[in-house]
Structure formats: structure tokens, C-alpha cells
């Protein structure tokens, strides 16, 4: 049996970056000290999350009730294996991203850096809040907080393009969260009369019929539009107007993963795998996800703007996670959860590289990057490792999650989904490999670089090399993410 | 002292208003301080009253010692106590805000302004506290007459708007008076509680006279609260009044009228008569849906900041009329909770509009151009109010919608649920339009390698008194949200006696 530990640590882990906003704002005149404050907050946050890891790995849960806000509903935190996995990914990558941000923002002499770092910290608070939410209401609270806190980051440049991107961003995210999730939330609250606590195995069974269940499932799946399931995906390419560190951490890791994380939580903790199985609802979701996977990969092929190609790739990869969960088999679920971590490290590397290229050369388009491998070898080597991971080829961590997803389809005999996953991997290879190939192997006369170009700011290079290294290490040693995903999947499928 | 608290709530501002009128002409500087002290007294008395109500139950206070049904009775239960707190606190905050503004907006009428201000508050508090239907009419006129004058203190267009308001307000009040007259004919009583007892005792529920009284009173109140399509008087009156006047009337007048409507439905006619004998629930809820959608769309069309906000008030009135006629506990809880939370939300955004007008002397939305740089503190206060109107947790507005939507789902009025959600989304559009202008400036620059020279304007915040009032309101919005369980608990305990429908 699992035992429950009451501890303030999860609250502190979520709040520490929110508190860090105060020193960051106060030190706005001293950029070096301000950045130290960001780092300090990042390291403290990571250590707080890490300190809870042993307990979680041994099968305990950590809980804390912060505030009783409605009768039998509270702002409550609970750390379990899945939340731990996401919390680790987000908090560790924040430290590396901060390093990268410093290089990027200073290299480009961006304005309003204090605002940038402040809202970055707020966003991370919201992300960890989502990861450690104990019930649907707390989850929604932090979900909304994240939408709003990231708006100033997306629109950082304050030009026309940023305004358009920001409008799309908020329109999609707020319309879906207020229009779909909120009524679904209240409906669940009314029908079950419960505290909406996530329990492995769900709590909806017996309270609603099949039609209502289907409707709720769709409301939640599309309502958490941060997951980028088509047709509610357009905000993500639009959000690429943000500075690259934002695209990297928020739109490859924190924000989008919060979307899928919410979906996984609702499937596992509200509906319950068994209930979904009984009503055969998993199939519908797998088809929706499969559609997104194939279409977004095809769209990615046609993009010449590197960041947009990465964005469409992200949309596809997010649906892998949803697909894995919707397979409703232990291997599929654990593959999906693992993919949160594996994709995060791979994709953030790719975004770091895109940003480094932009900072060093000012180029955004893939067609302008022929021959860049000779100029920026470290960056492009990291890019190669990152793309290996996203495609799912050995020597990078992404292999394991994709492998488990494939096992999941076989386990359940879902041959169509197996074909979808394999096709998509081919497409991924088709849109990633040419970039690396033409960067390194091109005839001297084809090269787009006449003059020597240096690598980007050292901070940025260190950051992208680190994430690339972690991606490679995760292939050899996929811990603790492997055990966490396995434990979570075991609990969800066999409550 | 505590036994007299219910009377003191309105006697303090009333007596002070006379004092201000007498000595204010000679000593202009003292008016604000006198008003401040009196409203502080009022706030304290309101809280004392609420605590007493929660301890002892209903307080029956006989004015001058005359027993009802002949004397005027103040009958204070949890409902009035809560609303009177909201009224006195909003008045207090607005007064803090008014300190500099009155001096600039109506320099020659400072004492007159504060006299009228205090009389308006006296009227509104009286309406909330009284247990006598005719006495309520008198106080209705007290507050209405003072509002006309407060609006007419504004620039030229305000005079016409005030005249229009006067006509409509008088019609509304006459309807109400006529309705009370019919009730008096049938029941021989003016005491609200007594009327209800007489209706039940004499089995008057099928009487056409009571029906006519009900219609007259309801329509009269709908005019006074600007329920769409009877709202035409409101936008211009509040948009052109001095900012101090609109900051007090925008949040309070319509909300107090909602309170009267709830009081009439619950105490005078009784929920059985309103919801079961008449059973117009579906029609009224549909009317409210139309009201919510029409006025939200109306708000979208406005380019004048305060006028846009007035349309939001009208939409919120739709929320509450609909919430009442959902005829269940959750809907009624939502309505009463929303009276309180909406008073503060509206106050917050009106104070913001006032501050912007004071700074820029412009009414249009584009006046907020680049305000995140110039007045960051003001914008933070505004954002809390805006988020509350959109309904983002944990602000008060989220929980109003929570209860109201819950009521809509329970009674199966899905059209109402959808209307609320659409209205939230429209609010999001409205407020993010403002936030966008404030953040980007009106003409964002092309391309990204520019230096934002124009955005680096100096910080020039609003005066402390205005900033404090804005931040105070924002803080209260968060507190009402975080303590919604306790407030809703008081409301639900109060509603128990009416046996409203619960559950799905």
C-alpha cells in the first residue's frame, strides 16, 4: 500500500519562482544580480522537486491542502509519479533555459529583460502547480494562470507580428478553457458532488451515462488546447513570434506539456482507464490523435521557417502522448508518459539550436542554412542528436518512449495505430534529416555562407550542448523517468 | 451601541450630510473628512450588524419604538446585512478616490457634492435595510433624486442624460409605488413580512390584484435596474457623469435594485408564488439570455471606455435576473453573491476609467495607450478587476459564474449557461483589447529591430488616494474570491428557509 506524507514541499516548489519575481523586479538595474536571482530560484526549485523523488520512487504520495475554497473542494497539492516526472523535466530544464536566455537576450540586446525574466518565473510556478495539482479545480486554476502569464512573453517584441500572435494565442487558449473546460468542470462537480480529487481509476463511473461521458471527454480533450490537438493547434505556430527561449521552454516543454498533462490527468484521474475501456472511448481519441499526428507531420514537411517546422513537429509529438494514453494499455500509457520527458529534452535542444542559429547569423529559414554545419559544428551536432530523439532512433532517449508506444499498439492489437506511428516516424525523419544532411554535406559552391560565422554566445552553446548530452544519456540510462512512467502506468491501468 | 447598529448604518451618513450641507459652505476642506468619518462609522456598523445577525438571527429594529405593522420596521437578516456591507464599503472606497477628483471636477460645488453623495448612500442603505414596502419607495426616491443631481454635475451632455434618467427613473418608481398600492389594497399592510403572511393567510395567490401588483413592481424595478431592453437611460448617464459620481452609482444603484427584486421575490411574494404559481421562469430566463447577449455585443461596439463599462453593467444585470428565475438554490446563491462581487468588480473598472480620464482627459479606449509603462501600478489593479469580470480564478467573478452556471445546469437552462460563457468570452475580448492597447501602444511598430523609444516614457502614477482605492478594491475582489465558501455559506443558510430546489 502507498502511504501519504503531508508536507509543504510541493507548495514551496510551486511558489518559489513566484516569490523570486520580487528580487528579479527589484534588481532590474543590476542585470547580473537579477540573473543570479533567477538561477537561485531555479536551483532551489529543482532541489525541492528532487528532494521528493526518493519518497515518490518508493511508492508514497506527498500531499498538502493549501486552502479550502468551496465546500469539499480545495486548492490542494499532491505529488505522484506522473506529476513528479513532469515536475522534474520542467524544473531541470528551467535552469538550463535560464542560462540560454541570458546568452540569447544579451546577444540580441533585447528590451524589457526584467519583464521577460519575471514572467518566465511566474510561468514556471504555474507549470509546477499543474504538475502537482491534486484535483481538477487546482489544475484549472494553474492552467489559466499559465495562459495569462505567458502572454507578455509571447508578445515580447511588442510589434505588429507579436500582437497578431498574441491575439491568436489568447483567443485559442481562453476560448477553449472558458468555453469547454469550465462547463465540463462544473458539470463534473455537480454530477459527482465530489471534491474532484484525481484518483487512479477515476471517479466518474456510475455518475454519468455513455453519451454524457463522450461529450465530457471531447470537451476536456479539445478544451485543454495547450495540447495542440487539431483543429485547436494554430496558436502554437502563431506563438513562435516569441523570443526563442520562450519557444524552447514554454512551447516545447512547459505550456504544451501542461496541455497533454491535463488531458492525461483527466483520462486517468477523472474518467479512469477502466471506465474509458468499458465505454470504448479510447478508440475515438486514438483516431483524433492519429489524425493530428499525420497531418501535422505533413504540414511540417512544407515549412521553411525552422521554428515553424519545429512547432508543427511539436503538435504531432504531443498527440503521440495523447495516443499512448488512449491506447489504454500499460505499455502504451507508460510510453505516452515517458514521451513527455523524452520529447522535452530532444525538442528543447532543437529550439535552442534554432535560436542559436538566429542569434549568430540572423537566419530563420531552412533554405538559408545549407552548409551551416561547417560554421557552427557544435550547434548542428546537437541539432542532429535532438532530431534523432524526436524521430525515435536509437542513441537518443526518444527511442524508448516510441518503442513503448509501439509495444502498446501491439499489446492491444491496434495495427492501424502501429502503421500511423511508423508512418509518422518516417515523416519525422523526412523533415529533420535533410536539415542536418545539408548542413554538413554540401558542395562548397552550394554553401550559403561566404564568410566565417562563429558559434552563438557561449551561454547558449553550453545550454544546447548540455541538453543534447542529456538526450543521448537518456538512451543509455533513461532513469528516473522510466521508473516513474512505469509506476504511473501501473497505478492507472490497475488501480 | 450594538443594539442601535442597524439604524446607525444609515443615520450616521444622513446626519453627517446635513452637517456637511450646513458647515461645508464655509469650511470646504472639512467636508471630505466628515464624510470619511461617517462612512467609516457606517462600515463598522454594517459589520457589527452582520456579526449580530449571524449570532442571534434576524434583527427586528423598530424605528422610534413604533411596532409594525404601523411603525417602520428595519428587518435585518443575512441578506441585507451582506448587501449593506457591500454598499458601505464601496461608498467608503469611492470617497477615498474622490478626494482630489471632486476638487477638480466640481470645484465650486464641493460641499453640495458631498451632501448629495452622503444622501445617496443614506438612500441606498435605507433601501437595503428597511422592512417596509412604502418606506422603501421613499428611500428609492431619495437615492434617485440625489443621483439625478450627481449626474447633472457633469459636463453638458450629462444634463440631458440626467433628464432622460429622471423620466425613466420616475416611471419606474411610479410603477413600484402603484404595485405597492395594489398590495396595500389587498392585504392592508405595508410591512414586507406582513404582506407575505397576509397573502398566505387569506389565500390571495390566485388574486388578479396580486398578479397586477407583482407585474407592476417587477417591471418598475427592471426599469430602475436597467434590465435590457429597459436600459436606455443608463449608458449616457453613467458615461457622462463626473467620474466620482459614476464610480459610486455604477457599482451600487443597479445592484441595490437587484437586491430589492430578490427581496420582493423571496420575502414579499414568496418563491412559491413567483416560481410555482406564476411559473414564468422559462420566459424570464430567456429574457435574461437576450439581455446578456445583446448588451455584451453592445459593449463590443463602444469606443468610449466608460460607456463600454456601462454596457457590462447591463449584461451583469441580465446575469442576476436570470439567476433569480433559475428558481433554485445555486442560482439564487449566485445572484446574491454576484450582487456583492459585481459591486466591487464594477467599482474596480470604473475607478480605473476615472484614473485614466483624470490623467489624459480622454474618454476613448485609446487613452490607455502605453499605460503599462506609464502607470504600471494602476494597470495591475485594473487587471484584477478585468480578470474578475472575465471570470478567472481565484477572483470573485469566477465564483459568481461558478454558482450561476451550477444553477443553470441544475435547472436545465442550458441557454443561460451558454449565454454566461459567451458573455465571459466577450468580456475577455473587451478587456484584452484594452490590455493590448496599453501594452503595445496604439500603433505597434513594424519589424523587430527597433528600440521602443516611444514606450520608454516616464512613470507617472495616479495620486496615492486614487491608487489606494483601486488597489483596495482589487484586494477585496481577491478576498471575496478566496473566502467565497464563507460568504456563500451565509447566503445558503439564509436561503434554507425558502425551500428552494437543490441538486440536479
Q: What is the pLDDT of residue A414?
A: 84
Which residue from A136, A63, A186, A80 is spatially nearest to A495, judged by alpha carbons?
A80
Q: Give the minimum alpha-carbon distance from A276 to chain B in angstroms, rounded to a whole number.
A: 24
B417 close to A (CB below 8 A): yes
**For testing the chain B interface, which of A26, A68, A144, A176 should be mutated: the one with the most B CBs within 10 Å?**
A144
CA distances (Å), origin A179, targets A137, A145, A216, A275, B340: 16, 16, 12, 25, 25
Label residue A1 by pLDDT band (50, 70, 90): very low
For the cut 90, the answer to whether the pLDDT of residue A35 exceeds it is no
pLDDT of residue B314: 93
User: How large is the greatest C-alpha to C-alpha distance in chain A, in angstroms?
Assistant: 72
In a domain, B218, yes or no: no
* A304 cis-preceded (ω within 30 degrees of 0): no
Q: Does B455 score more than 60 pLDDT?
A: no
Q: How many domains does chain B have?
A: 1
Nearest beta carbon to residue A191 from set B390, B484, B504:
B504
Q: How far apart are CA A375 and CA A278, in angstroms?
A: 57
Chain B environment of A159 (Cβ under 8 Å): 444-448, 450
* A183–B390 CB contact, under 8 Å: no
B402 and A70 within 8 Å at the Cβ level: the answer is yes
B286, pLDDT greater than 70: yes
Residue B205 has pLDDT above 80, yes or no: yes
Q: Is the pLDDT of residue A213 over 60?
A: yes
Residue B455 forms part of a structural domain: yes
> Closest approach of chain B CAs to the CA of A335, in angstroms?
33
pLDDT computed for residue B444 by the predictor: 56
* Interatomic CA distance for residues B95 and A270, integer angstroms: 49
pLDDT tens-digit series, residues B83-120: 999 999 999 999 999 888 888 887 788 888 889 999 99
Q: A434-481: per-residue pLDDT in tens?
A: 888 888 887 777 777 777 777 778 888 888 899 999 999 988 888 888
Three-class SS of B140-170: HHHHHHHHHHHHHCCCHHHHHHHHHHHHHHH
pLDDT digits (tens, 9 = 90+) for A78-87: 998 899 999 9
- What pLDDT does B452 receive? 46
Domain ranges for chain A = 4-493
Average of per-residue pLDDT across B485-501: 88
From B425, B446, B485, residue closest to A70, measured CB to CB = B485
Contact across the interface for B440 and A144, Cβ inside 8 Å: no
Contact A125, A14 (CB under 8 A): yes
Instruction: Provide, as residue numbers in chain A, all residues whose Cβ is less than 8 Å from the Cβ of B392.
Output: 144, 148
Please list every residue in chain A whose beta carbon sits closer than 8 Å to the beta carbon of residue B485.
68-71
A167 at B interface, C-beta within 8 A:
yes
List the grid coordinates of A487: 509506476
Residue A459 Cα, gap to closest chain B Cα (Å): 22
Is residue B319 in a domain? yes
Q: Do residues A371 and A442 touch, judged by C-beta distance below 8 A?
A: yes
Cα(A182)–Cα(A184) distance, rounded to whole angstroms? Answer: 5
The band of B194, judged by pLDDT with boundaries at 50, 70 and 90, is confident
Chain B: closest CA distance from residue A148 (Å): 10
Q: If pLDDT is split at 50, 70 and 90, which confidence band does B443 have?
A: low
Q: For all residues of chain B together, what is the average pLDDT?
A: 88
pLDDT for position B454: 45
**Which of A129, A146, A157, A177 should be substituted to probe chain B, the one whose Cβ sees the most B Cβ atoms within 10 Å?**
A157
Specify which residues A6 forms β-bridges with: A63
Any A CB within 8 A of B112 CB: no
Say if the Cβ atoms of A158 and B436 lie within 8 Å.
no
d(CA B71, CA A39): 71
* Max avg pLDDT among A403-417, B206-220, B370-384: B206-220
pLDDT at A2: 63
| Structural domain includes residue B326 | yes
**A180 to chain B, closest Cα gap in Å:** 9
Q: Give DSSP secondary structure letters for A275-301.
A: HHHHHT-HHHHHHHHHHHHHHHHHHHH
Residue B113: is the preceding peptide bond cis (ω within 30°)? Answer: no
**Long-range interactions of A36-42: CB distance < 8 A, separation 24+:** A38/A98, A38/A117, A38/A120, A38/A121, A39/A95, A39/A98, A39/A99, A41/A16, A41/A17, A41/A121, A42/A17, A42/A91, A42/A94, A42/A95, A42/A98, A42/A124
Chain B neighbors of A191, CB-CB under 8 A: 504
Is residue B416 very low, low, confident or very high in pLDDT (cuts 50, 70, 90)? very high
Q: Do A178 and B406 touch (CB under 8 A)?
A: no
Distance from the Cα of residue B491 to its chain's centroid: 17
The model's pLDDT over B418-436, given as tens digits with 9 standing for 90+, comes to 999 999 999 999 999 898 8
Which secondary structure element, helix H or strand E, spans residue B74, and what is its range? strand B73-76
H/E element, A70:
strand A61-70
pLDDT of residue B296: 93
Mean pLDDT score across all residues of chain A = 88
Residues A180/A236, Cβ–Cβ less than 8 Å: no
For residue B504, pLDDT beyond 60: no
Residue B388 pLDDT: 93
Interface probe for B, chosen from A182, A191, A215 (most Cβ of B below 10 Å), is A182
Of B393, B406, B448, the CB nearest to A190: B406
Residue A488, pLDDT above cutoff 70: yes
B501 touches chain A (CB under 8 A): no
pLDDT at B190: 87
* Cβ–Cβ contact B409 with A under 8 A: yes
Q: Which of A198, A39, A154, A96 is nearest to A459 (CA)?
A: A96
H or E stretch at B20:
helix B5-23
What percentage of chain A reaches a pLDDT higher than 70? 99
B401: Cα separation from own chain's centroid: 17
So what's the pLDDT on residue A439?
84
Domain holding B459, by residue range, is 280-504
* Predicted confidence (pLDDT) per residue in A259-310, tens digit: 999 999 999 989 888 888 888 888 899 999 999 999 999 999 998 888 889 9
**Interface test with chain A among B386, B402, B430, by most A beta carbons within 10 Å:** B402
Output the pLDDT for position B359: 85
**Do B365 and B308 meet the contact criterion of CB atoms below 8 Å apart?**
yes
- Confidence check: pLDDT of B417 > 90: yes
- Smallest CA–CA distance from B399 into chain A, residue: A70
Assess whether pLDDT exceeds 80 at residue B30: yes
B304, B309, B315, B319 alpha-carbon torsion, rounded to 10°: 170
The mean pLDDT of A344-366, rounded to a whole number, is 88
Evaluate if residue A107 carries a pLDDT over 80.
no
pLDDT of res. B42: 92
Please tell me if residue A94 touches chain B, with a CB cutoff of 8 Å.
no
The residue behind cell 495516443 is: A323
Over residues A195-209, the pLDDT tens digits come to 688 888 888 888 888
Share above pLDDT 90 across residues of chain B, in percent, rounded to a whole number: 46
Give the mean model confidence (pLDDT) for residues A128-138.
Answer: 92
DSSP reduced 3-state for A327 = coil
Mean pLDDT within B58-85: 84
Asked if residues A346 and A397 have their Cβ atoms less than 8 Å apart, the reply is yes
Please give the share of chain A, as a percent, with pLDDT higher than 90: 29
- The alpha-carbon gap from A241 to the nearest alpha carbon of chain B, in Å, equals 10
* Contact at CB, A155 and B446, closer than 8 angstroms: no
Amino acid at each position: 500500500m502507498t502511504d501519504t506524507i503531508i508536507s509543504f514541499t510541493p507548495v514551496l516548489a510551486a511558489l518559489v519562482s513566484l516569490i523570486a519575481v520580487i528580487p528579479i523586479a527589484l534588481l532590474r538595474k543590476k542585470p547580473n544580480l537579477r540573473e543570479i536571482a533567477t538561477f537561485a530560484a531555479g536551483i532551489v526549485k529543482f532541489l525541492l522537486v528532487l528532494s521528493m523523488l526518493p519518497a515518490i520512487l518508493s511508492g508514497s504520495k506527498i500531499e498538502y491542502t493549501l486552502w479550502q475554497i468551496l465546500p469539499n473542494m480545495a486548492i490542494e497539492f499532491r505529488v505522484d509519479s506522473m506529476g513528479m516526472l513532469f515536475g522534474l523535466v520542467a524544473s531541470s530544464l528551467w535552469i538550463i533555459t535560464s542560462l540560454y536566455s541570458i546568452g540569447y537576450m544579451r546577444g540580441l540586446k533585447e528590451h524589457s529583460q526584467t519583464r521577460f525574466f519575471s514572467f518566465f518565473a511566474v510561468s514556471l510556478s504555474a507549470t509546477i502547480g499543474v504538475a502537482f495539482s491534486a484535483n481538477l479545480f487546482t489544475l484549472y486554476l494553474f492552467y489559466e494562470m499559465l495562459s495569462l502569464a505567458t502572454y507578455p512573453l509571447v508578445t515580447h517584441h511588442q510589434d505588429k507580428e507579436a500582437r497578431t500572435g498574441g491575439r491568436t494565442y489568447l483567443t485559442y487558449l481562453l476560448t477553449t478553457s472558458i468555453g469547454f473546460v469550465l462547463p465540463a468542470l462544473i458539470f463534473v462537480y455537480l454530477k459527482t458532488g465530489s471534491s474532484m480529487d484525481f484518483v487512479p481509476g477515476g471517479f466518474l463511473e456510475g455518475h454519468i451515462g455513455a453519451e454524457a461521458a463522450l461529450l465530457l471527454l471531447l470537451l476536456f480533450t479539445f478544451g485543454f488546447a495547450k495540447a495542440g490537438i487539431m483543429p485547436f493547434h494554430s496558436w502554437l505556430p502563431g506563438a513562435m513570434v516569441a523570443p526563442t527561449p520562450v519557444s524552447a521552454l514554454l512551447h516545447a516543454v512547459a505550456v504544451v506539456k501542461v496541455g497533454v498533462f491535463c488531458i492525461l490527468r483527466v483520462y486517468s484521474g477523472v474518467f479512469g482507464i477502466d471506465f474509458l475501456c468499458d465505454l470504448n472511448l479510447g478508440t475515438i481519441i486514438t483516431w483524433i490523435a492519429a489524425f493530428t499526428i499525420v497531418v501535422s507531420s505533413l504540414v511540417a514537411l512544407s515549412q521553411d521557417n525552422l521554428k515553424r517546422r519545429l512547432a508543427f513537429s511539436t503538435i504531432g509529438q504531443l498527440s503521440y502522448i495523447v495516443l499512448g494514453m488512449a491506447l489504454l494499455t500499460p505499455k502504451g500509457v507508460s510510453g505516452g508518459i515517458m514521451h513527455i520527458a523524452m520529447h522535452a529534452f530532444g525538442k528543447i535542444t532543437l529550439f535552442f539550436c534554432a535560436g542559436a542559429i538566429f542569434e549568430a547569423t540572423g537566419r530563420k529559414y531552412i533554405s538559408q542554412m545549407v552548409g551551416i554545419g561547417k560554421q557552427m559544428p557544435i550547434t548542428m551536432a546537437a541539432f542532429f542528436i535532438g532530431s534523432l530523439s524526436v524521430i525515435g532512433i536509437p542513441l537518443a532517449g526518444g527511442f524508448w518512449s516510441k518503442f513503448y508506444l509501439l509495444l502498446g499498439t501491439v499489446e492491444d492489437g491496434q495495427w492501424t495505430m502501429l502503421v500511423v506511428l511508423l508512418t509518422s516516424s518516417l515523416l519525422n525523419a523526412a523533415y529533420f534529416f535533410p536539415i542536418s544532411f545539408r548542413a554538413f554535406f554540401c558542395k562548397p559552391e552550394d554553401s550559403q555562407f561566404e564568410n566565417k560565422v562563429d558559434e552563438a554566445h557561449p551561454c547558449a552553446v553550453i545550454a544546447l550542448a548540455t541538453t543534447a548530452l542529456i538526450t543521448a544519456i537518456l538512451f543509455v540510462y533513461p532513469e528516473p523517468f522510466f521508473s516513474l512512467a512505469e509506476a504511473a502506468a501501473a497505478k492507472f491501468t490497475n488501480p | 451601541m450594538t443594539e442601535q447598529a442597524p439604524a446607525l448604518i444609515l443615520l450616521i451618513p444622513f446626519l453627517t450630510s446635513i452637517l456637511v450641507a450646513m458647515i461645508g459652505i464655509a469650511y470646504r476642506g472639512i467636508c471630505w473628512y466628515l464624510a470619511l468619518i461617517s462612512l467609516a462609522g457606517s462600515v463598522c456598523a454594517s459589520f457589527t450588524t452582520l456579526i449580530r445577525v449571524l449570532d442571534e438571527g434576524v434583527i427586528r429594529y423598530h424605528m422610534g419604538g413604533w411596532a409594525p405593522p404601523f411603525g417602520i420596521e428595519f428587518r435585518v437578516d443575512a441578506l441585507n446585512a451582506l448587501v449593506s456591507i457591500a454598499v458601505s464599503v464601496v461608498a467608503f472606497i469611492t470617497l477615498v478616490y474622490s478626494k482630489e477628483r471632486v476638487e477638480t471636477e466640481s470645484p465650486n460645488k464641493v460641499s453640495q457634492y458631498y451632501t448629495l453623495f452622503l444622501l445617496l448612500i443614506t438612500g441606498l442603505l435605507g433601501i437595503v435595510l428597511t422592512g417596509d414596502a412604502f418606506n422603501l419607495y421613499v428611500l428609492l426616491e431619495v437615492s434617485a433624486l440625489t443621483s439625478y443631481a450627481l449626474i447633472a454635475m457633469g459636463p453638458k451632455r450629462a444634463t440631458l442624460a440626467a433628464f432622460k434618467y429622471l423620466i425613466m427613473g420616475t416611471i419606474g418608481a411610479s410603477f413600484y409605488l402603484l404595485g405597492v398600492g395594489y398590495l396595500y389594497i389587498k392585504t392592508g399592510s405595508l410591512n414586507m413580512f406582513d404582506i407575505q403572511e397576509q397573502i398566505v393567510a387569506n389565500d390571495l395567490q390566485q388574486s388578479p390584484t396580486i398578479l397586477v401588483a407583482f407585474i407592476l413592481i417587477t417591471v418598475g424595478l427592471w426599469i430602475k435596474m436597467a434590465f435590457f431592453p429597459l436600459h436606455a437611460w443608463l449608458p449616457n448617464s453613467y458615461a457622462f457623469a463626473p467620474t466620482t459620481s459614476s464610480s459610486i452609482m455604477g457599482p451600487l444603484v443597479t445592484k441595490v435594485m437587484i437586491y430589492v427584486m430578490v427581496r420582493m421575490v423571496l420575502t414579499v411574494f414568496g418563491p412559491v408564488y413567483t416560481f410555482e404559481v406564476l411559473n414564468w421562469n422559462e420566459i424570464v430566463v430567456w429574457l435574461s439570455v437576450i439581455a446578456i447577449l445583446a448588451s455584451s455585443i453592445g459593449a463590443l461596439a463602444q469606443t468610449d471606455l466608460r460607456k463600454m463599462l456601462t454596457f457590462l453593467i447591463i449584461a451583469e444585470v441580465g446575469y442576476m435576473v436570470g439567476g433569480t428565475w433559475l428558481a433554485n438554490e445555486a442560482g439564487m446563491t449566485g445572484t446574491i453573491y454576484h450582487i456583492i462581487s459585481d459591486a466591487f468588480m464594477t467599482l474596480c473598472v470604473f475607478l480605473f476609467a476615472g484614473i485614466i480620464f483624470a490623467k489624459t482627459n480622454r474618454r476613448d479606449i485609446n487613452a490607455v495607450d502605453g499605460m503599462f509603462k506609464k502607470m504600471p501600478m494602476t494597470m495591475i489593479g485594473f487587471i484584477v478587476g478585468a480578470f474578475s469580470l472575465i471570470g478567472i480564478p481565484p477572483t470573485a467573478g469566477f465564483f459568481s459564474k461558478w454558482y450561476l452556471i451550477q444553477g443553470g445546469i441544475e435547472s436545465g437552462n442550458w441557454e443561460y449557461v451558454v449565454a454566461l460563457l459567451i458573455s465571459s468570452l466577450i468580456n475577455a475580448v473587451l478587456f484584452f483589447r484594452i490590455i493590448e492597447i496599453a501594452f503595445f501602444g496604439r500603433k505597434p511598430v513594424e519589424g523587430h529591430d527597433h528600440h521602443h523609444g516611444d514606450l520608454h516614457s516616464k512613470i507617472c502614477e495616479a495620486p496615492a488616494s486614487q491608487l489606494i482605492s483601486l488597489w483596495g478594491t482589487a484586494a477585496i475582489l481577491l478576498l471575496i474570491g478566496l473566502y467565497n465558501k464563507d460568504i456563500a455559506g451565509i447566503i445558503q443558510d439564509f436561503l434554507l428557509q425558502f425551500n428552494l430546489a437543490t441538486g440536479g
